[in-house]
Structure formats: structure tokens, C-alpha cells
Amino acid sequence: MDIVIALKMWYNFIIKTKGLIFLRNVVFVTGGSGGIGSEICREFAKTGYPVAIGYSRNENGAKALAESINAQHGTAIAVHCDIADNQSVVNAVNETEKRLGAVEILVNNAGVANINLFTDLSDDEIVNLVNINLLGAMRCAKAVLPEMVRRKQGKIINISSVWGEVGASCEVVYSASKAGIIGFTKALAKEVAPSGIRVNAVSAGIIDTPMNGSLSNDDMQEIVSDIPLGRIGSPSDIAKCVRFLASDDSSYLCGQIIRVDGGWCS
């Protein structure tokens, strides 16, 4: 473990409240440099959790985020993790364990979208969507579970979408992959709960991220008009829900899909 990181972790373990010491758990966030992922990383870091920022291509963004968190007395490292490649996932988990410690909280956030008619998608595009959005989450969970089972504790939080619940035209494969995340969450939760591990998911509505940047202003206004709360969600809305699911305040939630959509699909 890096000496500087170790010292900073110890500093973060000491919460300046009546001299009490609270140990924080290591968090691994896939897609950690993206719109939602970066906010999840910040949300955990600001409350003292050491964070591994998983990235596939955005190395500069991940390292800049880690530097920003560390500059604010948090603890973060950038770790390359291509969730489409099992060996890359294994290497990323091993690196995190070596530099920060065992992963106790996994946030499967990384994902891709492809807005197009189903009949216009190539076989490679279909396979890529499923490989990243669904199989990628499975690979990451499989990589961290042995140590979680050994320690009899852990939390896995998967990021799904309301399209995985209700489906979306022109996002057929994306919807199917996110529906798969929901089934994966419910099934895995039953399998590993006896080992003290909780698995839950966040079903995200329309969130203000670059992934939704292709929507026109007119399209966005039409969507907002259908949302009872009258606005699209922010990455912070998702991040706060994720942190709640990782906390002891949700200790009896297991196998649940928490919809964060402003009442849109309720």
C-alpha cells in the first residue's frame, strides 16, 4: 500500500467528533470518471470512504478526479478497469486491494447506450451493449465476492435504469441489458445474503449527464413535462441513494430496486 495513501486513510479514519475513531470501508466505482460515477465517488469520499475510481478510456478524467478528492483531504486512486475484459477487472480489483485494502462496497455504474432502431443495430453493437452493461457488472461482482464472502460482509450496488423496468423504443438492447441487471440483483441478493452481503440496485430515471446530451431541448422539455417533480434528475440524486444503500441505515434492504426518477414511471 502506498505510504501517502495509507497515511491519508488513517487520517480519514479519525473523524473529529469527540475523539471517536470510525473505520471506513473501501469503495470501488466502475465508470467512476463519468457524470454519475464521478458524483458517486465524491459522495463517498466526502464522508471519509477511500475510493477506487474505475475507468476504461478516460484516464485523464479519472486521475483529475482522484487529485481533486485527495486535495480535499479525501482518499482516492484511479484504476484502469475495462469491464468488458475479465482479466482487466481482476487486475483492477487486485490493484485496489494492494493500494487501499479489500473492496467492501462495489458500485457497478459503468455502462453504454446506443439510441437506434433495433433492426439497425449490428450484431457487434448488440453484443457490446450486453457485454458492458450486464456481463460487465457480473464480472466485477464475481471478482470482489470471494473476499466479501470470506469476511462475511459487503455491499454491491448496481445502477440500472427505468428502461429496464418499462422498456424504451429505440433503446431495445439497452433496456434489455438493464432489465438483466434487475434480475441479476434480485437473484444474487438471495444467493449471498446468508454470507452477510447485501445486493441492491438503483433504477435511474432521466439524469443530467453527457449520455443524455444527444436529446434536443424540445425532447428534454417533453420529458420534463411528464415528470411529476418537474425536473430531470442530477447525478447527486443517484449518488445520495447509492450511499444510503451502502450505509447501515439500509441494513435490512436486500434485493431491492430503488427507483430514482421524480415519479416519472411510477
11, 49, 55, 174: the active-site residue? 174
Burial class for 230, CB neighbours closer than 10 Å (0-12, 13-18, 19+): exposed
Cβ atoms of residues 182 and 160 within 8 Å: yes
- Continuous H helices in the chain: 3-13, 35-45, 59-71, 86-99, 123-130, 136-151, 163-166, 172-192, 217-225, 235-246
Length of the chain counted residue by residue: 266
Q: Is 252 a catalytic residue?
A: no
Cell numbers representing residue 253 in the block: 434492504
Cβ atoms of residues 183 and 241 within 8 Å: no
Which residue numbers are catalytic? 174
